[in-house]
Amino acid sequence: MENTTRSLAFKSKWAGRFILAAIIEGLFAVIATVLLINPINIFTSNTYYAPSRVIASNGAGTWLFTGYISFLVVGVVAMAVTAIFYLYIEGIQGKPYKGITNLLAWGHIIFMNVGVAGSMFLMMWGGYLAGWASAPVSSGGEGLNAGQVHVQILGGLVDPIGGLVLVACLGALLGGLGYLMRSRAN
């Protein structure tokens, strides 16, 4: 009796690239987590300045937490899940990316990573600075009120963060267009 079982070898260069991007983003997430938790007082021996305290202080410091969580969800998890779409099209449907769809996939991975990482890390940095600036002067902070913090620190970050979010959206649109073109091709 002949062996009729055949091995399915799924090949997808783009799935591998997105998994690699998710791994690299995951490394950055681990580094950010260590810095946020500040387990050995990396920033200062005065734990008042620790990022974990800035997050817990509410107010502008929540930008730090929001940026961090958004980076984990969009930068790491979404990047890994996106690889499944490429695996499906290239590996299961047997339609490897080439020509214009290959360029669209490059735009997807580059713009998405630059936009997500740039916007979220800028948000985290701004949240940290804002939380520190709102700390009382007696604790070494600037003692700025919420209005001052938003005007002097966070207000200048809104447009760059928004611009980087648009870059990420452009990457997602390019990827979506590439998905449609490649999946519908014969």
Q: Work out the percent of the chain whose per-residue pLDDT is above 70.
A: 82
Average pLDDT over residues 159-183: 91
Residues in the chain: 186
pLDDT category, 6, cuts 50, 70, 90?
A: very low
What pLDDT is recorded for position 170?
Answer: 93
Q: Please report the sign of the dihedral spanned by the C-alpha atoms of residue 145, residue 150, residue 151, residue 153.
A: positive
Dump pLDDT digits (tens) for 140-152. 788 888 888 888 8
CA distances, 108 to each of 21, 23, 172 (Å): 12, 17, 6
For CA atoms 157, 129, 28, 72, give the dihedral sign.
negative
